[in-house]
């Protein structure tokens, strides 16, 4: 074994779909579907087709690779292997290599999409559960890595849930364009099938639960693969964003979130106390690899006339690895979210450590409502905040020194304004709206 996908990354179910054995079996399915379509048009009888099917499904993939090493053509190797076990003269009739390859790939994509749909839905609903559970847990919001207005953990989870749900919607939208095959011959004109071309192609696709490409040359236009890889890159970006923020919030000086740490898990070979966010780091690292496949796939869409072979070698890597790695990190993030813990004491401590400074806007807004010019109110709060930073004092203490503030607000009113739970705006209502939308979005269809 050489590649980490073989022994370290990827789920069994997704690697099974993209294995070499699966690819060969799927190409046999396509060849058999073509024979069935030809039989329906009277080229041969269905008994012959069944005879080929029974024998072909037992072909050892190693035999196909053995023939390929000799003749240096993968599809002719498959055809020869099928012909060795059957004397049917109609195998591969009217087809070109990419009729078989692209259509078999479409079945791999079809089965992969089903897995992605299931897991994206699961992650979105997990995040919704967390949004509901922590809807009212007030925490410190941060912008630029610095203290900002208060928010809630439910709000954070709702933001992530909405983004994941949009990927579910996107995947549903691209399926119509992505899950297509072809049976159109050497340059796409179906010349070998003549007037039967459309019917033969439609029947093959019906048998394989695919749709026929609206038009193709010797290959299906690669823009659909570009869109698929772009989707995986976009999904990976969201997964990395969530994992990155979990890592940030797990930092020792923040310590609000924590990945689940198993009883026998080791964090460091030399520092026994370590509880590193290794799953989140794994997501972040591999998400970058997934995004790296966007450019080579785009290059693979730029082919000479009716086709050249520059896409073939690249797509053996881009489609397989992007799919397996995207599924891997999606599965990993589901695990992370399922077991994530929130340290409510640290959440409260980090909020209170701001000494009211992150509520400066609340006081500014109220002063403006009571008659102070907004810019003047901003300056009053800016200066008071600078003093609080310098003196390491409460913002309330500094505001009580400001005559311009006391002219409009009493001490108890200021204290009320500086309570984080009083300055959440529509946050709680927003979480409820998002929860409703996400559930509807991922359960449609």
Contact 362, 400 (CB under 8 A): no
Q: Is the pLDDT of residue 64 over 90?
A: yes
Catalytically annotated residues: 144, 268
- CA 215, CA 217: separation in Å to the nearest integer? 7
Looking at residue 276, what is its pLDDT?
A: 85
- Give the range among 65-74, 132-141, 269-278, 338-347 with minimum mean pLDDT: 269-278
- CA 207, CA 310: separation in Å to the nearest integer? 30
H helical segments located in 134-196: 153-178
C-alpha gyration radius of the chain: 30
Burial category of 352 from C-beta neighbours within 10 Å (exposed 0-12, middle 13-18, buried 19 and up): exposed
CA within 13 Å, CB half, 379: 6
Contact 363, 399 (CB under 8 A): yes
pLDDT tens sequence across 109-150: 999 999 999 999 999 999 999 999 999 999 999 999 999 999
Confidence of residue 263 (pLDDT cuts 50, 70, 90): confident
Cβ neighbours of 251 (radius 10 Å): 11
Contact 307, 218 (CB under 8 A): yes
231: nearest Cα among 317, 346, 323? 323
156: nearest Cα among 79, 246, 95? 246
- Give the range among 14-28, 126-140, 215-229, 263-277 with minimum mean pLDDT: 263-277
- In angstroms, what CA-CA distances link 19 with 26, 80, 133, 321? 11, 21, 41, 11
Domains defined along the chain, listed by start: 4-348 (1.20.200.10), 357-417 (1.10.40.30)
Question: Coil, helix or strand for 6?
Answer: helix
Confidence of residue 275 (pLDDT cuts 50, 70, 90): confident
Strands (E) across 52-168 are located at 138-143, 146-152
Looking at residue 86, what is its pLDDT?
A: 92
* Calculated CA dihedral for residues 109, 112, 118, 119, nearest 10 degrees: -120
Confidence of residue 246 (pLDDT cuts 50, 70, 90): very high
- CA 178, CA 108: separation in Å to the nearest integer? 11
Contact 34, 46 (CB under 8 A): no
Span 410-431, average pLDDT: 97
Contact 152, 427 (CB under 8 A): yes
- In angstroms, what CA-CA distances link 188 with 3, 41, 108, 227? 36, 20, 22, 22
Mean pLDDT of the chain: 95
Strands (E) across 331-412 are located at 341-342
Contact 5, 18 (CB under 8 A): no
Tell me which DSSP letter residue 264 carries.
Answer: T
Span 308-331, average pLDDT: 95
Burial category of 55 from C-beta neighbours within 10 Å (exposed 0-12, middle 13-18, buried 19 and up): middle
Alpha-carbon torsion (323, 324, 325, 327), positive or negative: positive
Contact 192, 185 (CB under 8 A): yes
């Amino acid at each position: 074994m050489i590649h980490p996908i073989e022994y370290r990354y990827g789920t069994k179910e997704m690697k099974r779909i993209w294995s070499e054995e699966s690819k060969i079996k799927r190409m046999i399915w396509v060849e058999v579907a073509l024979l069935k379509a030809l039989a329906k048009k009277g080229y041969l009888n269905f008994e012959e087709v069944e005879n080929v099917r029974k024998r072909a499904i037992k072909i050892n993939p190693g035999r196909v690779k053995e023939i390929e090493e000799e003749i240096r053509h993968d599809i002719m190797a498959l055809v020869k292997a099928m012909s060795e076990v059957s004397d049917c003269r109609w195998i591969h009739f009217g087809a070109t290599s990419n009729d078989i390859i692209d259509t078999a790939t479409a079945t791999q994509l079809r089965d992969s999409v089903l897995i992605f749909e299931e897991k994206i839905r699961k992650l979105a609903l997990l995040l919704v559960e967390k949004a509901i559970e922590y809807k009212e847990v007030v925490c410190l919001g941060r912008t630029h890595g610095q203290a900002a207005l208060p928010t809630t953990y439910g709000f954070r989870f709702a933001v992530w849930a909405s983004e994941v749900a949009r990927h579910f919607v996107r995947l549903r939208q691209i399926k119509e364009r992505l899950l297509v095959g072809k049976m159109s011959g050497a340059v796409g004109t179906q010349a070998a099938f003549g007037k039967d071309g459309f019917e033969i192609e439609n029947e093959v696709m019906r048998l394989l639960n695919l749709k026929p490409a609206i038009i193709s040359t010797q290959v299906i236009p690669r823009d659909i693969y570009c869109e698929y890889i772009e989707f995986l890159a976009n999904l990976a970006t969201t997964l990395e964003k969530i994992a990155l923020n979990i890592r940030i919030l797990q930092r020792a000086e923040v310590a609000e979130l924590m990945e689940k740490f198993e009883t026998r898990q080791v964090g460091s070979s030399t520092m026994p106390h370590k509880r590193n966010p290794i799953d989140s780091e794994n997501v972040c690292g591999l998400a970058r690899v997934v995004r790296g496949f966007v450019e080579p796939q785009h290059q693979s869409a730029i082919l000479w006339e009716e086709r050249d072979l520059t896409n073939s070698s690249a797509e053996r890597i881009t489609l397989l690895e992007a799919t397996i790695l995207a599924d891997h990190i999606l599965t990993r993030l589901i695990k992370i979210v399922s077991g994530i813990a929130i340290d409510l004491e640290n959440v409260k401590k980090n909020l209170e450590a701001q000494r009211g400074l992150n509520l400066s806007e609340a006081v500014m807004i109220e002063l403006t409502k009571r008659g102070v010019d907004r810019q003047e109110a901003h300056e009053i709060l800016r200066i008071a905040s600078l003093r609080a930073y310098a003196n390491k004092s409460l913002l309330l203490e500094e505001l009580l020194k400001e005559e311009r503030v006391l002219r409009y607000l009493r001490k108890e009113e200021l204290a009320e304004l500086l309570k984080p739970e009083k300055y959440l705006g529509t946050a709680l209502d927003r979480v409820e709206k998002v929860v409703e939308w996400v559930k509807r979005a991922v359960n449609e269809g």
